[in-house]
Amino acid sequence: MPLRCLWLLFPWVLCAQVPTTKVWQKQYETWTNAISNTRLENVQWSPSGERLAYSWRTPEGRTEFRVVECATGKVTSAFDPAALAEALRKEIKPQAEVRNLGVSRVLPQDDGKLWIEGNGFVCTWSPDGSIQKQDASKAADLKTAPAAGRIRSTGSPRMLSSTRYGSKSPDGLWRVTVEGAEVTATATSGEKRVFAASGGKGSAALPAGFVWSGQPAWSPDGKQFALWATRAVPVRKYLVKDSVKQTEKEIDYDKPGDDKTQQLACVFSLAGGFRYPGLDVLPLTMNTDRLDWTADSQRLRSTYTLRGFTGHGIIEFDVGTKQWRKLLTEEDPKFVFTYGSFYRYDLPDDTTLWVSERSGWTHLYRVDLRTGATLNAVTSGAWVMKSVLHVDEAARQVTFVGLGRNPGEDPYYRQVYRVNFDGTGLVALTSGDGTHDVVFGPGRKYLIDSFSRVDLPPRFLLRRASDGREVAKLGEADDAKLRSAGWEPPRRFVAKDRAGKFDIHGVIVRPFPFDPQKKYPVIEYIYAGPQDSFVPKSFAVWNASFREPSSQDFYVVKMDGRGTWNRGKEFHQECWRNLGDAGLPDRVAWLKAAGRVEPQMDLTRVGIFGGSAGGQNAVHALLRHGDFYKAAAADCGCHDNRVDKLWWNEQWMGYPVGPWYAANACLTEAHKLQGKLFLTVGESDTNVDVKCTYDLRDALLAAGKKDLLEFTVILGGGHGACEREDMRVKRVDFFRRALGGPLPR
């Protein structure tokens, strides 16, 4: 259907944009320049992992390289700049001075030497002060570990397979070809075995509409092979327009309820010349994975996800019984969060490490792949096993990130643990009230633990990986100058949810400058997508979504309400068939509680903004809680879950499409709009169909809400186009006009 009124531009009452952005830029530069050491820079390990080098900014503003002897925890300066300059002048660089050393990298070696790279020189520096010129090209040959950064996973999912994929059998004696519905195996001797489509012993007959697809998956002994048969369906197309580039393109874009390609797995016996019964143990699937044979050639496995996301698991064909079965299943009548919590790591003993929420919490289990029986819980308790970092098969241990295990801490803080495969011997490898990132050194004997909070600048520790014991303090960022420049950290705040059951965690950012004798309007920055949690937990000097509005006389708040992830199944499943809820009753309760501890918050003037799912959330705030929220800015929102992409919406809203889809669509409640709405969309959005926004605009105009609506199409803009600087200025200006400025208390 053609889109009417491609754009409506309502009058703007704009303050000058350039001064506003200059204020933001000046404040950003002032604050970011007032603190250093918020990251550990230039980290390098020796090949054995027993020595560590990194750089640190001193209070005087000088960069100092430091070396750590991991066995003792001793931290020293890597070199004396004056001594290095003198040695360079004598041996390598006559013009060397302390001021022009420009050391950029120090690589510790296990013999006690340091490889040093600087301004116009490369050398090795010995403990006795001697120096030797080196060839810069040899630096690539040095064995050093990667620099420190965020948590890195070496425990990625693994599905063991003894399968050979391709037309040829493992012994090279047979080749499989497919022509139409006919499958033929031809030997190098010329012998043929035809699995005809006409039925009979060698039947390759398929249900109507199915065709063979992909490469054969051969058993290791070459006696069987498997093929997927696919029933393909036409894929819906979505036309993406770009008025700036004057282009149009079509992309594939499935929507909830659309027919999906289905796959049927079939196994053929080469020796027997027949096809085994097809896979019939699954109802409609969202997707399936590759076909994997076990080493003994007796079983064929694949993973699957049910349509509507009510389950996923492993299916298996047994050559001996000639039957398919569900080997391992995770099912829930509401949903299983497949994209977020799926994890499978197969072990050589035919067991697997498997993530499940069967207890109501995300945890890791050890499962026997021969029987499908759960052998034991690897992790357990009223907390979340967030992700696997490393699987040590020799030691039979797992290193993982856990959330909410430490009483009294924010349940979203990341801590790192190690546990035995049998669930015993749990060891905390990090500690400290904050959220943690780790990087392991070579051999995994030591780790760097970096932790912070929104109100605590980063701290860096070297820990022993065997037991988490602190080996050395590497440094702590100091925010004294930052605070003296007027910066205040976000205030962490916790209040009960709508029912008084769950703690709702959030942050409060005060206006800057702040006058305690005034009352300020409040803006909530919302994103309630159920795929994660979104309140910041680590230290950051500047976050534009918070700091820009706060510099224009607004409180800015953010919290994670019910329906978001990382707090257990009950908390999460609030979103099921209920995306319009967005945890908004919890947010209103949190804001009212926050107003009691921050009396300068004017809760008669509350606005809300968000993009994508957050755009839908912001509109629902006005439609369902218009007595509390007075204005909203919504960008690129999935305002109608029937119109947005299939996979994201069916995960939460289910399949088939039922009346709850319409009940959660913003346009269904367009007549309820009370407050002012700043509605935007990027014309060329490929993530959320722009029709979501256009249909909402039309519904609002039809409901007589023109005077409450400011609507802008950002020509040529993609998903999230309202986060461009010029649009952020307009958004702040909208709230200034809709909510006003500070008032006397």
Report phi then psi at 65, rounded to 5: -90, 135
- Residue 121 within a domain: yes
Report phi then psi at 271, rounded to 5: -70, -40
Report in angstroms the alpha-carbon separations of 461 from 302, 449, 678, 704: 43, 5, 46, 60
pLDDT at 600: 99
Report in angstroms the alpha-carbon separations of 382 from 337, 407, 570: 18, 11, 12
Return the higher-pLDDT residue of 359 and 280. 359
**Is the pLDDT reported for residue 185 higher than 90?**
yes
- 8 A C-beta contact, residue 589 and residue 504: yes
Q: Whole domain around residue 583: which residue ranges? A: 486-744
- Residue 137 within a domain: yes
Closest by CA to 317, choosing from 330, 305, 327, is 327
Give the pLDDT confidence of 94-134 residue by residue, as tens digits: 999 999 999 999 999 999 999 999 999 999 999 999 999 99
Q: Which residues pair with 242 in a beta bridge?
A: 247
**Is the pLDDT reported for residue 15 higher than 80?**
no
Output the DSSP codes for 663-687.
HT-GGGGGGG--SEEEEEEETT-SS
**Is the pLDDT reported for residue 199 higher than 60?**
no
Give the pLDDT confidence of 79-95 residue by residue, as tens digits: 999 999 999 999 999 99
CB atoms within 10 A of CB 333: 8
50 CB-side CA count, 13 A: 8
- Strands 311-318, 323-331: pairing is antiparallel
Tokens matching residue 331: 């099912």
- Strands 456-464, 446-453: pairing is antiparallel
Report phi then psi at 396, rounded to 5: 55, 55
- Residue 308 within a domain: no
**Is the pLDDT reported for residue 196 higher than 70?**
no
Of the residues 97, 116, 141, the one at which a domain ends: 141
Angle 112-117-119 from CA coordinates, rounded to 5°: 145
Report phi then psi at 57, rounded to 5: -90, 125
Cα end-to-end span (Å), the chain:
53
Q: What is the C-alpha to C-alpha distance for residues 577 and 100, in angstroms, rounded to an integer?
A: 64
pLDDT at 611: 99
- 8 A C-beta contact, residue 521 and residue 600: no
What CATH code is carried by the domain that includes residue 738?
A: 3.40.50.1820
State how many domains the chain has: 2
- Residue 733 within a domain: yes
- Residue 336 within a domain: no
- Find all residues with CB under 8 Å of 371, minimum gap 6, and list them: none
Q: Which residues pair with 507 in a beta bridge?
A: 492, 558
Q: What is the C-alpha to C-alpha distance for residues 192 and 184, in angstroms, rounded to an integer?
A: 7
360 CB-side CA count, 13 A: 5
- Residue 106 within a domain: yes
Give the pLDDT confidence of 125-151 residue by residue, as tens digits: 999 999 999 987 776 666 554 444 334
Closest by CA to 250, choosing from 265, 235, 240, is 240
Of the residues 141, 160, 194, the one at which a domain ends: 141
pLDDT at 154: 54
pLDDT at 148: 40
Q: What is the C-alpha to C-alpha distance for residues 201 and 348, in angstroms, rounded to an integer?
A: 37
**Is the pLDDT reported for residue 13 higher than 60?**
no
Q: What is the DSSP letter of 277?
A: P
Return the axis-axis angle of helices 613-624 and 584-597, rounded to nearest 10°: 80
Return the higher-pLDDT residue of 420 and 14. 420
Reported as type and span, the H/E element at residue 604 is strand 601-611
pLDDT at 155: 67
Of the residues 78, 106, 141, the one at which a domain ends: 141
- Residue 89 within a domain: yes
pLDDT at 2: 37
Report in angstroms the alpha-carbon separations of 354 from 301, 313, 362, 385: 15, 10, 10, 11
- Residue 598 within a domain: yes
Rounded to an integer, the average pLDDT of 471-487 is 98
Q: Which residues of 19-33 are buried (b: 16+ CB within 10 A; e: fewer)?
A: ebeeebeebbeebee
Query: DSSP H helical segments within 113-254, as ranges?
Result: none
pLDDT at 7: 36
